[in-house]
Amino acid sequence: MMERLTGAERQIALMICVVMATVGLVMAAAGRGDPMGSHGAIVLIAAGITTFFVLRAIGEPEPAEDRTVNYYDDPTKAGLVIALFWAVVGMGMGVWVAAQLAWPDLRFDAAWSSFGRIRPVHTSGVIFGFGGNALIATSYHVMQRTSRARLAGHVSPWFVLLGFNLFCIVAASGYLMGVTQSKEYAEPEWYADIWLVIVWVVYFVLYIRTLARRNEPHIYVANWYYMAFILVVAILHIVNNLAVPASLTGAKSYSAFAGVQDAMTQWWYGHNAVAFFLTAGFLGMLYYFLPKRAERPIYSYRLSILSFWGIVFFYIWAGSHHLHYTALPQWVQTLGMTFSVMLLVPSWASAGNALMTLNGAWHKVRDDATLRFMMVAAVFYGLSTFEGSFMAVRAVNSLSHYTDWTVGHVHAGAMGWVALITFGSIYSVVPLLWKRETMYSWKLVEWHFWLALAGTVIYVFAMWNSGIIQGLMWRTYTESGTLAYSFTDTLVAMHPYYVARACGGALFLTGAILAAYNVYMTIRHAPEKRPERDYPTSSEATEPPVPAAE
């Protein structure tokens, strides 16, 4: 794929690799005896692998294709394949974590395999690895199509994609070594955080520059969501990770905030990670791929604008609902609760807009599993946002908080909404990008759909039961005013649900593995699509870019 870069671009890529390798070497040398040293080695190896691919292309002839006539889809393709890899890894870790809760012996007594270390590998693996790569890849696809313009640059999309994955690998390997800031979804330490800021700024600039090249007067609403995702995640990430390293040669750092301010900053970040990473970006996917697949414009474009601004302005205030009944001032808790309840309006406007778009195309939903993925995703989006608003109400939260209900709620959103819309988008975009007629096997897509749906429903129902039982047991008192159940009693009561949850997760993982296989086989073996018109000549076709007669 590096052959498609011009000579100058290959040189820039090589220079970046050299700088990265130097940084890795310095980290490895300075951080000897500390996990930072191991991370330096990882950076060095990553830079080495990238250098190998760039060097292999460096002597090749310049690309002959006419860049003005087609979109630049190589980074999108790579991103989708990497996203599926992370899906299998992240969901596999999830099944293992779930199984450890049901059968603790599955820890196998190693330090690295303890619950506290592999759980963040699961959460970061699915959120950042799977979700993040899918967002980056689809955003490249959507920004080019909706702008009718080619990506603004050929090195920067690779820098963003590969740089982001380096962050993911440093994060996941750090967790296994015990490196953590102990902030949920913000566990990576200071040097990984700084690296992500660099990658993210390049991503933002790339998006803005591509939009600036657009040939459409209006910026299609999907781009607004992707832009909100990029911009707000940058702000959240920078503020929440403000910290002072204990030493420049070690991983440990101390947060710039303390006490309740730290908790508020963390949950302002944490909830908006849900809002802008797991919602805004995926709504961008929904607003592009669902109308496209249904071959119908979005039901109400005006409603999509209203719900965009509603979601953006309400979500940013909702984080304090994670801190009900804490040292946080009561009015801040109430503020978070109020905004969470109001959020239901724009959230349901989006879900309703998606479903109304399908009104009149239900036969397509019935026949086409890809569109059905997106339809069910919109339903789960509606369900989990309703549940979220409800759980943010202080009285409900007193029962639900700290129980498995929260875990069930997150997974209704993450599996039912985020993963399903992503798989739907992947199934609709893969044949297009690799110029195939269809996916390799539509039966596997059907299997995946039903496995994913069954897995999600089993998971969510198990956690609802488990969480509510747990919450009720915690608040049951005897006549003499003491607690009726010990903590161990609650564990015994939850055990069957933990087994069910692991089974639901395993079904969902099986679906993801089928998806990875199906995509691989589509790339390798599905018949090529006969184009209606000629494709523009690519560099891989060994023929002159213009007909000889011209």
Binding residues for heme b are 122, 409, 411
H helices of 343-486, where? Answer: 344-358, 362-367, 369-391, 394-400, 404-411, 420-433, 442-474
Among 1, 8, 69, 541, binds another protein (CB under 8 A): 69
Q: Could you tell me the two tokens for 339? A: 């905004």
Residue whose token pair is 């303890």: 114
Binding residues are 122, 271, 321-322, 409, 411
| 216 binding another protein? (CB under 8 A) | yes
CB contact set of 83 (below 8 Å; sequence gap of 6+)? 129, 130, 131, 133, 134, 137, 422, 426
CB of 291 to another protein, least distance (A): 6
# binding residues, another protein (CB under 8 A):
38
Q: Could you tell me the two tokens for 467? A: 């969480």
Question: What is the torsional sign of CA 424, 426, 427, 429?
Answer: positive
Among 103, 313, 325, 450, binds another protein (CB under 8 A): 313
CB of 258 to another protein, least distance (A): 16
| 550 binding another protein? (CB under 8 A) | no
| 173 binding another protein? (CB under 8 A) | no
Among 128, 190, 200, 220, binds another protein (CB under 8 A): 220
Q: Which is nearer to another protein, 72 or 485 (CB)?
A: 72
Binding residues for Cu cation are 271, 321-322
Could you give the 3-state DSSP secondary structure of residue 253? strand
| 291 binding another protein? (CB under 8 A) | yes
| 536 binding another protein? (CB under 8 A) | yes
Q: Which is nearer to another protein, 151 or 503 (CB)?
A: 151
CA distances from 267 to 181, 273, 323, 393 (A): 14, 9, 8, 16
Q: With contact defined as beta carbons under 8 Å apart, do 458 and 500 qualify?
A: yes
| 145 binding another protein? (CB under 8 A) | yes
Q: What is the DSSP code string of 44-105? A: HHHHHHHHHHHHHHHTSPPP-S-TTSS---HHHHHHHHHHHHHHHHHHHHHHHHHHHHH-GG
Q: Which is nearer to another protein, 144 or 266 (CB)?
A: 144
| 435 binding another protein? (CB under 8 A) | no
CB of 303 to another protein, least distance (A): 8
CB of 144 to another protein, least distance (A): 7
Site residues for another protein, 317-346, by CB under 8 A, read: 329, 331, 335
Among the residue ranges 26-34, 68-76, 111-119, 126-134, the one whose residues contact another protein (CB under 8 A): 68-76
Q: Which is nearer to another protein, 245 or 352 (CB)?
A: 352
CB of 523 to another protein, least distance (A): 19
Could you give the 3-state DSSP secondary structure of residue 361? coil
Amino acid residing at 249 = T
Among 39, 77, 271, 292, binds another protein (CB under 8 A): 292
Q: Cα 208 to chain center, whole Å?
A: 21
Q: What's the half-sphere exposure (Cβ side, CA atoms, 13 Å) at 367?
A: 6
| 288 binding another protein? (CB under 8 A) | yes
Could you give the 3-state DSSP secondary structure of residue 229? helix
Per DSSP, 254 falls in state: E
d(CA 525, CA 359): 35
Q: Which is nearer to another protein, 107 or 213 (CB)?
A: 213
Helices 115-124 and 156-177: crossing angle, nearest 10°? 170
| 359 binding another protein? (CB under 8 A) | no
Among the residue ranges 50-58, 174-182, 216-224, 278-286, the one whose residues contact another protein (CB under 8 A): 216-224
Q: Could you tell me the two tokens for 213? A: 């090249």
Binding residues for another protein, per CB under 8 A? 68-71, 144-146, 148-150, 215-218, 220-222, 288, 291-292, 295-298, 301-303, 305-306, 309-310, 313, 329, 331, 335, 432, 533, 536
